[in-house]
Structure 1
């Protein structure tokens, strides 16, 4: 796989990785080995950064869109993230609240959908109104206006 894909799967910024990592394709076995036994450079990158945008958003508990709205466009180090959390600017408070509302709504919809046997769009109209008479499709069509149970 390409180095960009491997870096994304490892959760690190490609530009911060060593040249030996960026300069060649990474096999699936090598990626599994890096995940199982990370070398010192990978552990250090995961610990102190610079971190990719998704990781920055996760650590700040906001969405990646919220980062962009807040003006954070470049990768941040762990120290910069801690400084933002200590400072807690108003945009970060607002984005955290928005992100929490979105997550609560998604959880509510997930919970509501758990009781269903199938999504509504896959059901036939007669399944939603079983008391109605429906036209029987198989076989010859009856004359217009005649309905069967």
Structure 2
């Protein structure tokens, strides 16, 4: 067997996810083929024009859109943002943020602060249980 027949392949959705792009916006040939790991690596190291343009202007998948807006994926869901957004649409939202975006950004900050507080408290608790007991007397 040749190396080409033995190489692992992935579905276009998986490859798009690994590339951080929105699958429906890719060329038909990408959407309708399996991608090998070697092809994926080639796309990463020497991206074709369509990939460069897609990464620059979008539309972007939900996780990238959420990161660019500074909200969580759940925040986009709560705001009922179901379509992939382009760079222009994201810039417009950031320039004049609607109430939902302001609320979700504040919510994400609060969640991260709480997670940091819990992490610190747990670390302090672990440190306290590892200390030798004080002797009385």
TM-score by structure 2 length?
Answer: 0.80
Larger radius of gyration: 1
| Cα RMSD for the two superposed structures | 1.9
CA deviations on 1:12-54 (whole Å, 9 max, x unpaired) are 0111111111111101111111112211111100100011111
Query: Are 1:58 and 2:58 counterparts?
Result: no
- Residue 71 of structure 1, CA deviation: 2.2
- Size of the aligned set, in residue pairs, is 120
Q: Distance in 2 between matches of 1:6 and 1:109?
A: 36
- Say which of 21, 25, 44 aligns to 2:30: 21
Q: Give the one of 55, 58, 66 matched to 1:49.
A: 58
Closer, same or farther in 2 for the Cα pair 1:112/1:37, shift >3 Å? farther
| 1:33 paired to 2:42 | yes
State how far apart, in whole Å, the 1-side matches of 2:28 and 2:111 are: 40
Distance across 1 between alignment mates of 2:78 and 2:94: 17
The TM-score with structure 1 as length reference comes to: 0.74
2:111 paired residue number: 102
Higher relative contact order (CA 8 A, sep 6+): 2
Partners of 1:40 and 1:111 in 2: CA distance: 46
